[in-house]
Amino acid sequence: MLKLGLIGKGISRSQSARLHVLLGRMCGIDVTYDYLDSEKIADFDLIGQLAACAKAGYAGVNVTHPYKTEARKLIQRRKRLPEALGAVNTVVFREDGWRGDNTDYVGFMRGYRGQFGDQAPGTVLQMGAGGVGLATAFGLHGLGAERILIHDKDADRGHTLVATLKAGGANVAFVTEPELSDAIRDADGLINCTPVGMNQYPGSPIDAALLGGQKWAFDAVYTPVETAFLHSARKAGLSVMTGFELFFFQGIEAFEVFSGAQIDGDAARIEYFNAYPEALTG
């Protein structure tokens, strides 16, 4: 039995449980996956909850909003996690201590390579500098992006991410509102890491009129899978990567950390869509 869970706030709509249970079934492992919602736990504190999970026999837990940064401060990072990447979304409990990882970071890179092969990211304009934006930006650096341009309506948050990436060795700059249209037109790749495009926040963060000269686009939103932004990008001739790829591969990476198993991504994709065909449309 592999006991897993997710710690976060307002996580009842998460699809992580069904992915991890399915991956366990593929490996012949019985998996339980609990939602540990801080809104429903009296006197919640992260370190106390992690300690309770370790004591209760959990192999590990995923950590989501708003606790990823705090978790990074509490947990020793795994070697593959860049020192400057200040967020952890996966914690594994071992006899020699707890280890933290960010599978959004490695999952994004795995999804990008699966979708675009060896194509270099080039110059990339990223909308959004929050938690997922931190991971994808470091992923871009790991993929060898020539230049990373960050825009966020919260300029302080955007500048903080730029400084963090510079500390990690990336070629990065903040893009102001007046500079945004030109930056979008001149980019090789475009990334949306804002909530715009989700079912509850319809629309696109990028004007469709600015699309056409770029090579590729990625939207971290996966409900729906085909967002307005990606629809416009496809129509303009860009290659696209959906948010499902990030959800899927960060989950596989986390399960591999928890279990020590190696997952065939193609086989897992077939199993997942056979079990949950609605995931194709979100």
Helices 243-259, 103-116: crossing angle, 10 deg rounding: 120
Distance of CA 174 to the CA centre of its chain: 21
Q: What stretch of H or E contains 115?
A: helix 103-116
Distance of CA 246 to the CA centre of its chain: 5
Distance CA 232, CA 240 (A): 10
245-281: burial string, b at 16+ Cβ within 10 Å, e else: bbbbbbbbbbbbbbbebebeeeebbeebeeeeeebee
Residues belonging to the active site? 67
Hey, what amino acid is at 185? R
Q: From the CB of residue 39, how many other CB atoms can be counted at a distance below 10 Å? A: 10
